[in-house]
Structure 1
Amino acid sequence: MDVTYAETLDEVREVLVSVLGIEDRAAGLDASTPLLGSLPELDSMAVLELVAAIEERFGFTVDDGDVTAELFETLGSLSAFVAERRP
């Protein structure tokens, strides 16, 4: 199945919203939405929860070395990472 970046973006948004419990702000999240340092809910523990949820939802393992500030810079950067690695 060929999944588009837009579909991956939507799915990553769903995971992010669910993990952080920010359903009330989901509609305002797009690819350019800054994450780390901008969403108070996204602290170090939430990053770990988000990585685990991404691994479970998309069926691949995120290496520790991949968990960087750049990866969590925006919803778009996180979605691009997932799109590249999802099976």
Structure 2
Amino acid sequence: MMSDGAAEVEATVRSTLVDLLGIAPERAATFNENTPLFGALPELDSMAVATLLTELEDRLGITIDDDEVDVEMFETFGALVRFASGKALN
């Protein structure tokens, strides 16, 4: 069971992907823990990753240091949500 905060972070990550990558909201609504992102979504290229991180910082009020960023955090939707939740809820 997700806490309200975790559900809010997940919704924010989902809406950020929709807004920045132009992914249809209906498609993003199907994303789950295991949905692959980087390498599977053509919209999510290296330039989009930088923009996505900046936007998540703004929307969640977090700071993401360069040394925290690795490819694993973009492998799946769940990994990205876990990373963002870890930053936002601590």
Deviation at 1:30, TM superposition (A): 1.7
Deviations 1:18-51 (A, max 9, x none): 1100125222212211111100010000000100
Whether 2:43 is the aligned partner of 1:35: answer no
Q: State the match for 1:19 in structure 2.
A: 20
Gap regions ≥5 residues in structure 1: none
The aligned runs of 1:1-80 (5 Å cut-off) are 3-23=4-24, 24-80=26-82
Identity of aligned residues (%): 47
* Aligned Cα root-mean-square deviation (Å): 1.6
Q: TM-score, normalised by structure 2?
A: 0.85
Secondary structure class of the residue paired with 2:84: helix
Q: TM-score, normalised by structure 1?
A: 0.87
More displaced stretch, 60-69 vs 45-54: 60-69
Task: Count matched residues.
Answer: 86
